[in-house]
Amino acid sequence: TWRVVAIEAGGKPVPPASVEKIQLDWVFDGDRVTTRRPDRKEEPGTFAVDTSVTPKRMTITKPGTPPVKAVYAVDGKTLKVCL
């Protein structure tokens, strides 16, 4: 489980208090990913990674929506994802 601690939207950082308030978690289990927030229904999906390229890539697929392409990096205990 990864807690989202920073968000940037439109090239600008979202205020830390706003990010903390939403309590957004990404839960990875095998090839599944679920986004969780206390004020919303869980959003299950699947993901696939491509570690053969730099930066590493991830595709997230959730029912009823087009796949989301992302790049990611793991640095120690920090996961950075750019959607």
Q: CA 54 from chain center: how many Å? A: 18
Q: For 5-30, how does the pLDDT look when each residue is reduced to its tens digit (9 = 90+)?
A: 999 988 999 999 999 999 999 999 99
Helix, strand, coil in percent for the chain, rounding step 5:
10, 50, 40
Taking only the tens place, the pLDDT of each residue in 67-78 is: 999 999 999 999
Tell me the one-letter amino acid at 78.
T
Q: For residue 53, which phi and psi values (nearest 5 degrees)?
A: -120, 160
Residue 15: DSSP 8-state: P
* pTM of the predicted model as reported, rounded to 2 decimal places: 0.85
